[in-house]
Structure 1
């Protein structure tokens, strides 16, 4: 069996060419209900907006004035990106299932395990990339252990969402306001 090949992704999204003016902050947050890194990417200017199609809904996930707040919970096999529009309204929550979150060269990262869960504010939930996970297993890009980690984590999160117990949904607003206050303090 080959060594598993997972894509390591970084919270600063430094290689994202669509975003041409940005403000980025990150911080280790340890408060009630959360321990881990949180990043805030304020998108000042993009080359063009980015839209996703979810069944009959077309959702803009990045444009001028948007903020992407990402949580990297310590010891968990997921990270959560909350996309806010220019008015500060949640556009969607995007949960990446991963092997681990970590810090490399002072940059928060996640090792992607393919599965994604997307929730839009009206409560609709979309599950993505199960086919990519299956293909990765069949081609040897991941092994059975990693496959089961991904499936188990996605099932646990699905249950928490269904019972309204996924705590990061409530913390996203609190943590966005925290970063917004920090930005205001820097302007003083």
Structure 2
């Protein structure tokens, strides 16, 4: 079953006190919604382990900037630490991005993910979940093929230093942070 994920993370209990902003942008470099979730207080930090190294991705003072590009099959979440430094980019391959008036921008997750670390490491995630979705007929063979094509396309763009959202994330973070100031 596909998971619908909202940029507001309205149902995330870990965040005790939050700030939130969303904005629609239409430029030659990016068209779609961006959201900013500020973690002003958290019940407990969240750590992930990548190749034996623990990385904090949610804590007091952290922010998640999420891009929901129009007409694309991916969404990018950029994690910023309390000093405004990028911790990671998390690319979700998805069926579609959309907007709901009550909870804001969303994406229907196709399970297949890329984690990009500032040092250049690329981590592939949840390949088994995509295959399980195909086997349980939660997605069609066409959707399976499209998810893999999008995954490979993004991986190639990252390898060729041609995935513009990585560069735009800091610009958009500064832009949307001004809304909450």
With the length of structure 2 as denominator, give the TM-score of the two structures: 0.97
Give the Cα separation in 2 of the matches to 1:31 and 1:143.
33
**1:82 corresponding residue in structure 2:** 78
Give the Cα separation in 2 of the matches to 1:182 and 1:60.
26
Shift of 1:108: 0.4
Count, aligned residues: 180
Q: Do structure 1's residue 183 and structure 2's residue 180 form an aligned pair?
A: yes
Bigger Rg, which one: 1
The more displaced of 24-33 and 62-71 is: 24-33
Pick from 37, 41, 50 the counterpart of residue 41 of structure 1. 37
RMSD across aligned C-alpha pairs, in angstroms?
0.9
Pick from 135, 157, 160 the counterpart of residue 160 of structure 1. 157
Shift of 1:181: 2.1
Give the gaps of 5 or more residues in structure 1: none
**1:108 corresponding residue in structure 2:** 105
Give the Cα separation in 1 of the matches to 2:113 and 2:47.
17
Pick from 14, 17, 24 the counterpart of residue 18 of structure 1. 14
SS of match in other structure, 2:144: helix
Give the gaps of 5 or more residues in structure 2: none
The more displaced of 99-108 and 65-74 is: 99-108
